């Protein structure tokens, strides 16, 4: 749930530092300012702090000075390499603080940051951002978090002001696992969608009108995702989308249609190849979800 109360800026517990003022870091700092938090900011390119200073933020001259200013230090930078560089500059200034890293990155990076913070006497929370900067401060931006439970309990109310927050447990890498997986679902679906727009365009259909119809059509996806998840967990594969032997025949049509109009069919050939293997193994009566059995890296 989104917390919308206005903070008392003189209350030290509500003071926050934001390191990194790109599009996302700026949106985060502005949200904290809007909610009444005393906000200290720092950015490598100092000029990016100016609009926030106009809105009431305090700009620090160095990352270490910024980190020293607040009990809660939020980092939002381009990538893991930038985080390493800035944290090395901050170093001992995080002692006794809660360090929250919202930079995209892997579970391994998150666990390394956790160890880094622990060695300097700081509590670490790793967070990931699923949403766009203009929507920070609304429930439309999802923030998976993991790491120090004590830190999450202490600062959860403030973090919830940024969007919809879910805590995934004490392993600092868990939020990144969730993020990587959710982002992958999006990309896997969207590359298929782009391939399909190629086909639609090659057939002379208006791509934007088709996209609108497709958007209505994907309303069927959420229950299907849930039922596939349950099938995979149980290791039992009912004939979702029909039995594989029937679906495989449809795949042949999809592939030959694409090839006949000069449109790439690589995704469909991948799916058809998996279906053929599953059918050859004697599982032709099972559903699409059973392809999961073939997706382990050998």
- What is the rounded CA–CA span in Å between residue 74 and residue 40? 10
**Separation between Cα atoms, residue 114 and residue 148, nearest integer Å:** 9
265 binds ligand FVH (CB under 6 A): no
| Binding flag, residue 91, ligand FVH (CB under 6 A) | no
State both tokens at 174.
Answer: 């868990």
SS3 58: strand
Does residue number 22 form part of the binding site for ligand FVH (CB under 6 A)? yes
Residue nearer to ligand FVH on the CB measure, 21 or 162: 21
Query: Which residue has tokens 């766009």?
Result: 132
| Nearest residue relative to ligand FVH (C-beta) | 22
Judged by CB under 6 A, the stretch of 40-48, 49-57, 218-226, 234-242 that binds ligand FVH is 40-48
- Is residue 110 at the binding interface for ligand FVH, with CB under 6 A as the rule? no
DSSP states along 215-276:
HHHGGGHHHHHHHHHHHHHHT----TTS-HHHHHHHHHHHHHHHHHTT---HHHHHHHHHHH
The contact pattern for ligand FVH, residues 47-76, with x = CB under 6 A and - = no contact, is -x---------------------------x
- Applying CB under 6 A, which of residues 2, 13, 82, 285 lies at the interface with ligand FVH? 82
Q: Is 117 in the site for ligand FVH (CB under 6 A)?
A: no
Contact between 101 and 75 under an 8 Å Cβ cutoff? The reply is yes
Helices (H), 120-173: 149-159
Exactly one of 78, 214, 250, 294 binds ligand FVH (CB under 6 A); that residue is 78
Task: Count interface residues toward ligand FVH (CB under 6 A).
Answer: 22
**Which residues of this protein are in contact with ligand FVH, per CB under 6 A?**
20-25, 43-45, 48, 76-79, 82, 85-86, 103-104, 129, 132-133
């Amino acid at each position: 749930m989104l917390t919308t109360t206005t903070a008392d800026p003189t209350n030290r517990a509500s003071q926050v530092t934001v390191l990194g003022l790109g599009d996302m870091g700026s949106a985060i700092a502005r949200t904290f300012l809007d909610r009444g938090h005393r906000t200290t900011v720092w950015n490598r390119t100092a000029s990016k702090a100016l609009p926030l200073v106009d809105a009431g933020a305090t700009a620090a001259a160095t990352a270490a000075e910024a980190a020293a200013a607040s009990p809660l230090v939020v980092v939002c930078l381009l990538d893991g390499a930038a985080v390493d560089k800035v944290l090395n500059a901050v170093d001992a200034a995080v002692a006794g603080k809660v360090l929250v890293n919202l930079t995209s990155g892997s579970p391994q990076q998150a666990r390394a940051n956790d160890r880094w913070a622990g060695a300097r006497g700081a509590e670490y929370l790793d967070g990931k951002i699923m949403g766009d900067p203009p929507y920070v401060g609304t429930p439309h931006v999802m923030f998976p978090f993991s790491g120090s439970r004590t830190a999450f309990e202490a600062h959860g109310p403030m973090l919830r002001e940024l969007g919809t927050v879910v805590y995934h447990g004490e392993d600092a890498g868990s939020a990144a696992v969730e993020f990587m997986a959710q982002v992958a679902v999006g990309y896997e679906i969207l590359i298929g969608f782009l391939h399909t727009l190629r086909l639609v365009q090659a057939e002379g259909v208006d791509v934007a009108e088709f996209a609108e119809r497709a958007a209505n059509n994907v309303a069927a996806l959420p229950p299907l995702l849930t039922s596939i998840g349950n099938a995979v967990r149980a290791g039992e594969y009912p004939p979702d989308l029909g039995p594989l032997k029937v679906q495989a025949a449809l795949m042949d049509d999809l592939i030959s249609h694409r090839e006949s109009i000069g449109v790439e069919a690589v995704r469909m050939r991948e799916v058809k190849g998996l279906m053929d293997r599953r059918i050859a193994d004697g599982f032709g009566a099972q559903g699409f979800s059973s392809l999961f059995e073939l997706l382990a890296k050998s």
